[in-house]
């Protein structure tokens, strides 16, 4: 019997030192793939990324939506409402952060502040004025007690084309300058304390308006002459071809940031309530209110006024119409409000020597 020989054994060479780099590279590649897989598995998805951004967007939207419920302690609610249009600025910043983080949750959350802001202020972005200048042009300007050029300010206002011109914060030493410079354009005028009214049309029945400026025992003891010198509101009748028009000029109390007490609005709020009561008692159905309200129409403190009167700028202006401070306006605190009149247009006039911009409006019967 013939035996078939077994094939000789194949001897595998032992790995030498030159194979070590190959093995090391494979090990490193395998470890890298494992780490990447673990990171991918542990990385939050697009709905879990940017949760801080999403929470910030929701809080911003809720603040704008529920601004009327913000406490007015330390004047906080009034401050928020005065600056409310500016709360839209964080929206594009948050959106940029959400896109950078690739956060779907933040992008969706940003819909709330965006929609709320557009609901509140989207209508102010365009030009709402109507063709034609209006039957009557009115201008209001806080001329500033420390205005370095009252004569120049008066000449600018006389050139504005206003039929009725209201001035607030008239300093006693500048009153004569305004009266002299405006006399040629406006044959009729009245000044009561720190507010005045100039008109191309006849004026009558001018009187101070009690806006609860002097209260308490000290206010009650104040002489009538002293009260008149510091008077900050008046009412007069303008005679027109369409009938009498009741015109109010007012400069409500200033708001102040007081250390330890926050944003102080007590005098402004008290003045606003008293002025609202005076206008509610006005028998003339046609009313124009001109002046520095030291508050925006979004401010709850002016609710008694805005419930009775319409802002000409809100109805027929262009843009936001910020009037203060003149160097970089951030709020529209100078107002032209009407009742029984149709707003036609509203605009800002160029800066004068005051820290406020003049505001103008055209109104129809």
What's the pTM value of the predicted model, to 2 decimals?
0.86
Cα–Cα distance for residue pair 170/160, rounded to 1 Å? 19
The pLDDT, as a whole number, for residue 184 is 97
Angle at 165 between CA 200 and CA 324, to 5 degrees: 165
- Rounded mean pLDDT of the chain? 90
Assign residue 298 a region (left: φ > 0; alpha: ψ between -120 and 50; beta: otherwise): alpha
List the single range of 160-164, 217-221, 309-313, 314-318 with lowest mean pLDDT: 217-221
pLDDT exceeding 90 applies to what percent of the chain?
77
- Beta strands, E only, the chain: 136-142, 164-168, 188-192, 195-199, 203-208, 233-240, 243-251, 256-258, 262-264, 287-292, 310-311, 334-339, 342-348, 359-364
Closest to 144 in 3D by CA, of 327, 318, 2, 344:
327
Name the token pair of 310.
Answer: 């319409």
164 touches 362 (CB < 8 A):
no
Assign residue 93 a region (left: φ > 0; alpha: ψ between -120 and 50; beta: otherwise): alpha
- In the predicted structure, residue 38 carries a pLDDT above the cut 60: no
Cα–Cα distance for residue pair 363/136, rounded to 1 Å? 5
List the single range of 4-18, 146-160, 275-289 with lowest mean pLDDT: 4-18
Q: Sorting pLDDT into bands at 50, 70 and 90, what band is 2?
A: low
Write out pLDDT tens, residues 248-271.
999 999 988 776 667 789 999 999
110 touches 118 (CB < 8 A):
no
Write out pLDDT tens, residues 57-92.
999 999 999 999 999 888 899 999 999 999 999 999
The pLDDT, as a whole number, for residue 41 is 47
The pLDDT, as a whole number, for residue 9 is 55
Strands 256-258 and 262-264: antiparallel
330 touches 322 (CB < 8 A):
yes
Angle at 43 between CA 41 and CA 46, to 5 degrees: 115
- In the predicted structure, residue 148 carries a pLDDT above the cut 70: yes
Radius of gyration of the chain (CA): 34
Phi, psi of 200 (to 5 degrees): -80, -15
Q: How far apart are the first and last CA of the chain?
A: 134
Name the token pair of 98.
Answer: 């959400």
Name the token pair of 99.
Answer: 């896109």
Length of the chain, please?
Answer: 365
Cis omega (within 30 of 0) for bond into 325: yes
Q: Mean pLDDT across the stretch 169-178? A: 97
Name the token pair of 171.
Answer: 């300093």
Name the token pair of 280.
Answer: 């509610």
- Tokens 């470890």 locate to 31
């Amino acid at each position: 019997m013939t035996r078939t020989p077994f094939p000789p054994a194949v001897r595998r060479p032992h790995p030498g030192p030159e194979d070590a780099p190959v093995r090391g590279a494979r090990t490193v590649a395998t470890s890298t793939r494992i780490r990447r897989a673990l990171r991918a598995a542990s990385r939050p998805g697009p709905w879990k990324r940017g949760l801080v951004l999403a929470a910030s967007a929701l809080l911003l939207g809720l603040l704008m939506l529920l601004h009327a419920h913000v406490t007015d302690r330390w004047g906080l609610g009034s401050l928020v409402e005065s600056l409310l249009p500016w709360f839209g600025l964080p929206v594009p910043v948050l959106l940029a952060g959400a896109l950078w983080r690739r956060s779907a949750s933040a992008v969706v959350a940003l819909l709330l502040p965006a929609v709320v802001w557009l609901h509140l202020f989207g209508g102010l972005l365009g030009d709402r004025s109507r063709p034609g200048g209006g039957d009557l042009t009115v201008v209001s300007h806080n001329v500033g007690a420390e205005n370095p050029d009252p004569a120049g300010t008066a000449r600018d206002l006389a050139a504005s084309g206003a039929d009725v011109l209201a001035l607030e914060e008239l300093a006693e030493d500048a009153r004569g300058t305004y009266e002299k410079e405006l006399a040629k354009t406006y044959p009729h005028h009245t000044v009561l304390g720190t507010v005045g009214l100039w008109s191309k049309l006849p004026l009558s029945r001018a009187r101070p308006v009690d806006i609860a400026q002097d209260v308490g025992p000290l206010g009650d003891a104040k002489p009538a002459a002293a009260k008149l010198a510091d008077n900050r509101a008046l009412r007069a009748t303008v005679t027109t071809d369409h009938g009498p028009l009741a015109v109010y000029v007012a400069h409500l109390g200033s708001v102040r940031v007081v250390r330890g007490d926050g944003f102080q609005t007590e005098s402004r709020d008290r003045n606003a309530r008293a002025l609202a009561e005076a206008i509610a008692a006005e028998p003339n159905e046609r009313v124009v209110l001109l002046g520095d309200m030291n508050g925006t129409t979004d401010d709850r403190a002016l609710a008694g006024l805005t419930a009775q009167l319409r802002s000409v700028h809100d109805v027929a202006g262009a843009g936001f119409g910020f009037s203060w401070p003149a160097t970089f306006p951030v709020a529209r605190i100078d107002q032209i409000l009407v009742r029984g009149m149709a707003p036609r247009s509203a605009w800002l006039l160029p800066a004068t020597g005051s820290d406020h911009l003049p505001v103008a409006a055209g109104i129809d019967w």
